Chain A
Amino acid sequence: DADVTQTPRNRITKTGKRIMLECSQTKGHDRMYWYRQDPGLGLRLIYYSFDVKDINKGEISDGYSVSRQAQAKFSLSLESAIPNQTALYFCATSDLSSSGANVLTFGAGSRLTVL
Protein backbone atom coordinates (compact mmCIF):
# COMPACT_ATOMS: atom_id res chain seq x y z
CA ASP A 1 0.00 0.00 0.00
CA ALA A 2 1.09 3.54 -0.71
CA ASP A 3 2.43 5.68 2.13
CA VAL A 4 0.08 8.50 1.14
CA THR A 5 -3.28 7.56 -0.39
CA GLN A 6 -5.57 10.04 -2.11
CA THR A 7 -9.19 9.46 -3.09
CA PRO A 8 -10.68 9.91 -5.57
CA ARG A 9 -7.92 9.78 -8.19
CA ASN A 10 -10.14 11.42 -10.78
CA ARG A 11 -13.31 13.44 -10.41
CA ILE A 12 -15.46 15.40 -12.83
CA THR A 13 -18.03 17.71 -11.31
CA LYS A 14 -20.15 20.71 -12.14
CA THR A 15 -19.88 24.33 -11.09
CA GLY A 16 -21.40 24.94 -7.66
CA LYS A 17 -21.08 21.39 -6.39
CA ARG A 18 -19.35 20.56 -3.11
CA ILE A 19 -16.34 18.32 -3.49
CA MET A 20 -14.17 16.57 -0.91
CA LEU A 21 -10.74 15.11 -1.62
CA GLU A 22 -9.46 12.74 1.00
CA CYS A 23 -5.95 11.86 2.07
CA SER A 24 -4.64 9.25 4.45
CA GLN A 25 -1.06 8.38 5.38
CA THR A 26 0.75 5.51 7.02
CA LYS A 27 4.04 7.36 7.54
CA GLY A 28 3.17 8.43 11.09
CA HIS A 29 4.07 12.01 10.19
CA ASP A 30 2.55 14.94 12.05
CA ARG A 31 2.74 17.38 9.13
CA MET A 32 0.28 17.17 6.25
CA TYR A 33 -0.22 19.41 3.25
CA TRP A 34 -2.46 20.04 0.27
CA TYR A 35 -0.88 21.36 -2.93
CA ARG A 36 -2.32 22.25 -6.28
CA GLN A 37 -0.52 21.84 -9.61
CA ASP A 38 -1.49 23.74 -12.72
CA PRO A 39 0.32 23.49 -16.06
CA GLY A 40 3.26 25.90 -16.09
CA LEU A 41 2.69 27.01 -12.50
CA GLY A 42 4.41 24.35 -10.45
CA LEU A 43 3.11 23.30 -7.03
CA ARG A 44 1.31 25.82 -4.87
CA LEU A 45 0.42 25.31 -1.21
CA ILE A 46 -3.27 25.46 -0.30
CA TYR A 47 -3.36 24.45 3.38
CA TYR A 48 -1.10 22.71 5.84
CA SER A 49 -1.41 21.16 9.28
CA PHE A 50 1.33 20.39 11.78
CA ASP A 51 -0.92 18.38 14.09
CA VAL A 52 -4.61 17.59 14.59
CA LYS A 53 -5.33 20.92 16.27
CA ASP A 54 -3.24 23.02 13.91
CA ILE A 55 -4.55 24.25 10.54
CA ASN A 56 -2.84 26.95 8.49
CA LYS A 57 -3.60 28.70 5.23
CA GLY A 58 -1.11 28.45 2.44
CA GLU A 59 -0.49 30.59 -0.60
CA ILE A 60 -3.86 29.96 -2.32
CA SER A 61 -6.46 29.01 0.33
CA ASP A 62 -9.41 31.04 -0.99
CA GLY A 63 -12.28 28.78 -2.05
CA TYR A 64 -10.94 25.81 -0.09
CA SER A 65 -11.29 24.42 3.42
CA VAL A 66 -9.65 21.50 5.18
CA SER A 67 -10.27 19.12 8.04
CA ARG A 68 -7.66 17.16 10.00
CA GLN A 69 -9.75 14.31 11.32
CA ALA A 70 -6.84 12.40 12.80
CA GLN A 71 -3.07 12.37 12.59
CA ALA A 72 -3.34 10.16 9.52
CA LYS A 73 -6.21 11.92 7.73
CA PHE A 74 -6.40 15.32 6.06
CA SER A 75 -9.24 16.21 3.71
CA LEU A 76 -9.64 19.13 1.32
CA SER A 77 -13.07 20.56 0.50
CA LEU A 78 -14.30 22.83 -2.24
CA GLU A 79 -17.58 24.19 -0.90
CA SER A 80 -18.78 25.45 -4.28
CA ALA A 81 -16.52 24.34 -7.09
CA ILE A 82 -15.70 26.70 -9.96
CA PRO A 83 -13.99 25.95 -13.28
CA ASN A 84 -10.69 27.62 -12.36
CA GLN A 85 -10.31 25.05 -9.59
CA THR A 86 -9.75 22.45 -12.28
CA ALA A 87 -6.29 21.15 -11.43
CA LEU A 88 -4.22 18.28 -10.11
CA TYR A 89 -4.27 18.17 -6.32
CA PHE A 90 -1.58 16.56 -4.21
CA CYS A 91 -1.57 15.62 -0.57
CA ALA A 92 1.79 15.32 1.16
CA THR A 93 3.23 14.49 4.55
CA SER A 94 6.56 15.37 6.07
CA ASP A 95 8.90 14.92 8.93
CA LEU A 96 12.20 16.69 9.17
CA SER A 97 14.91 14.49 7.67
CA SER A 98 18.17 13.65 9.42
CA SER A 99 19.76 16.40 7.35
CA GLY A 100 17.24 18.95 8.63
CA ALA A 101 15.48 19.39 5.29
CA ASN A 102 11.68 19.25 5.28
CA VAL A 103 11.28 16.28 2.94
CA LEU A 104 7.72 15.82 1.68
CA THR A 105 6.20 12.49 0.65
CA PHE A 106 3.46 13.00 -1.91
CA GLY A 107 0.39 11.03 -2.82
CA ALA A 108 -0.31 10.08 -6.42
CA GLY A 109 -2.64 13.03 -6.95
CA SER A 110 -6.34 13.70 -7.49
CA ARG A 111 -7.30 15.14 -10.86
CA LEU A 112 -10.34 17.40 -10.52
CA THR A 113 -12.28 18.79 -13.46
CA VAL A 114 -14.98 21.39 -12.83
CA LEU A 115 -17.32 21.91 -15.77
Chain B
Amino acid sequence: DQQVKQNSPSLSVQEGRISILNCDYTNSMFDYFLWYKKYPAEGPTFLISISSIKDKNEDGRFTVFLNKSAKHLSLHIVPSQPGDSAVYFCAASGVRGSQGNLIFGKGTKLSVKP
Protein backbone atom coordinates (compact mmCIF):
# COMPACT_ATOMS: atom_id res chain seq x y z
CA ASP B 1 0.00 0.00 0.00
CA GLN B 2 1.43 3.33 -1.06
CA GLN B 3 2.16 5.65 1.83
CA VAL B 4 3.13 8.58 -0.39
CA LYS B 5 1.00 9.22 -3.46
CA GLN B 6 1.47 11.52 -6.41
CA ASN B 7 -1.71 10.98 -8.37
CA SER B 8 -0.81 13.11 -11.38
CA PRO B 9 1.79 11.42 -13.58
CA SER B 10 2.25 14.58 -15.62
CA LEU B 11 1.54 18.30 -15.65
CA SER B 12 1.92 20.86 -18.41
CA VAL B 13 2.18 24.59 -17.65
CA GLN B 14 2.90 27.72 -19.65
CA GLU B 15 6.09 29.61 -18.91
CA GLY B 16 5.50 32.37 -16.35
CA ARG B 17 2.46 30.70 -14.83
CA ILE B 18 2.24 28.85 -11.54
CA SER B 19 2.99 25.11 -11.37
CA ILE B 20 1.29 23.21 -8.55
CA LEU B 21 2.44 19.67 -7.83
CA ASN B 22 0.44 17.65 -5.35
CA CYS B 23 1.27 14.85 -2.94
CA ASP B 24 -0.91 12.89 -0.51
CA TYR B 25 0.21 10.66 2.31
CA THR B 26 -1.45 8.13 4.55
CA ASN B 27 0.71 7.99 7.69
CA SER B 28 0.16 10.81 10.16
CA MET B 29 3.46 9.96 11.88
CA PHE B 30 5.63 11.36 9.10
CA ASP B 31 7.67 14.25 10.50
CA TYR B 32 9.44 15.60 7.40
CA PHE B 33 8.44 15.99 3.80
CA LEU B 34 10.87 16.65 0.96
CA TRP B 35 10.68 17.44 -2.73
CA TYR B 36 13.27 16.26 -5.22
CA LYS B 37 13.71 17.21 -8.86
CA LYS B 38 15.11 14.83 -11.45
CA TYR B 39 16.37 15.61 -14.94
CA PRO B 40 16.91 12.81 -17.49
CA ALA B 41 20.26 11.02 -17.11
CA GLU B 42 20.86 12.63 -13.73
CA GLY B 43 20.17 11.66 -10.14
CA PRO B 44 17.42 13.35 -8.14
CA THR B 45 18.43 16.61 -6.49
CA PHE B 46 16.99 17.99 -3.29
CA LEU B 47 14.71 20.98 -3.74
CA ILE B 48 12.95 21.91 -0.52
CA SER B 49 11.68 20.33 2.69
CA ILE B 50 9.12 21.06 5.37
CA SER B 51 8.75 19.88 8.93
CA SER B 52 5.40 18.56 10.05
CA ILE B 53 5.21 21.33 12.64
CA LYS B 54 5.05 23.94 9.89
CA ASP B 55 2.48 24.64 7.21
CA LYS B 56 4.63 26.56 4.74
CA ASN B 57 8.24 26.79 3.66
CA GLU B 58 9.53 29.07 0.95
CA ASP B 59 12.77 29.17 -1.01
CA GLY B 60 12.87 31.59 -3.89
CA ARG B 61 10.38 30.53 -6.55
CA PHE B 62 9.55 27.33 -4.66
CA THR B 63 7.03 27.09 -1.84
CA VAL B 64 5.79 23.95 -0.15
CA PHE B 65 2.47 23.94 1.69
CA LEU B 66 1.49 21.27 4.21
CA ASN B 67 -2.09 20.52 5.23
CA LYS B 68 -1.82 17.92 7.98
CA SER B 69 -5.54 17.51 8.50
CA ALA B 70 -5.91 16.55 4.84
CA LYS B 71 -2.58 14.67 4.76
CA HIS B 72 -1.70 16.68 1.71
CA LEU B 73 1.23 18.77 0.58
CA SER B 74 1.85 20.77 -2.54
CA LEU B 75 4.83 22.36 -4.25
CA HIS B 76 4.23 25.72 -5.93
CA ILE B 77 6.66 27.05 -8.51
CA VAL B 78 6.14 30.71 -9.38
CA PRO B 79 6.91 31.77 -12.03
CA SER B 80 7.50 28.54 -13.91
CA GLN B 81 10.47 28.43 -16.27
CA PRO B 82 11.33 25.98 -19.07
CA GLY B 83 14.32 24.81 -17.01
CA ASP B 84 11.88 23.59 -14.36
CA SER B 85 10.79 20.82 -16.73
CA ALA B 86 11.69 17.64 -14.86
CA VAL B 87 10.22 14.82 -12.81
CA TYR B 88 9.36 15.89 -9.26
CA PHE B 89 9.31 13.38 -6.44
CA CYS B 90 7.62 13.89 -3.11
CA ALA B 91 9.16 12.02 -0.15
CA ALA B 92 8.34 11.57 3.51
CA SER B 93 10.23 10.35 6.55
CA GLY B 94 9.96 9.84 10.25
CA VAL B 95 7.79 6.82 10.79
CA ARG B 96 8.91 5.03 13.94
CA GLY B 97 11.34 2.24 13.12
CA SER B 98 12.16 3.66 9.71
CA GLN B 99 15.35 5.31 10.99
CA GLY B 100 14.57 8.42 9.03
CA ASN B 101 14.54 6.64 5.67
CA LEU B 102 12.62 8.37 2.92
CA ILE B 103 9.54 6.94 1.26
CA PHE B 104 9.08 8.32 -2.24
CA GLY B 105 6.04 8.90 -4.38
CA LYS B 106 6.00 7.78 -8.01
CA GLY B 107 6.78 11.23 -9.35
CA THR B 108 5.09 13.87 -11.52
CA LYS B 109 6.59 14.92 -14.82
CA LEU B 110 6.36 18.71 -15.22
CA SER B 111 6.61 20.26 -18.65
CA VAL B 112 6.90 24.04 -18.85
CA LYS B 113 6.10 25.33 -22.33
CA PRO B 114 7.84 28.48 -23.62
Which A residues are within 8 Å of any B CB, using their own CB? 4, 33, 40-45, 48, 50, 56, 58, 90, 92, 96-97, 99-109
Contact = CB atoms under 8 A, between A and B. Distances in A.
Report the contact-size class of chain B (Cβ under 8 Å from the partner).
20 to 34
Given A42-B106, A43-B104, A101 B43 contact: no
Given A33-B101, A103-B34, 15 more contacts: A4-B43, A42-B106, A43-B89, A44-B104, A45-B101, A50-B99, A90-B43, A97-B49, A104-B36, A104-B102, A106-B43, A107-B43, A108-B41, A108-B42, A109-B42
Across the A-B interface, the 6 shortest Cβ-Cβ residue pairs: A106-B43, A42-B106, A101-B49, A101-B32, A43-B104, A102-B100
Given A42-B106, A107-B43, A102 B101 contact: yes
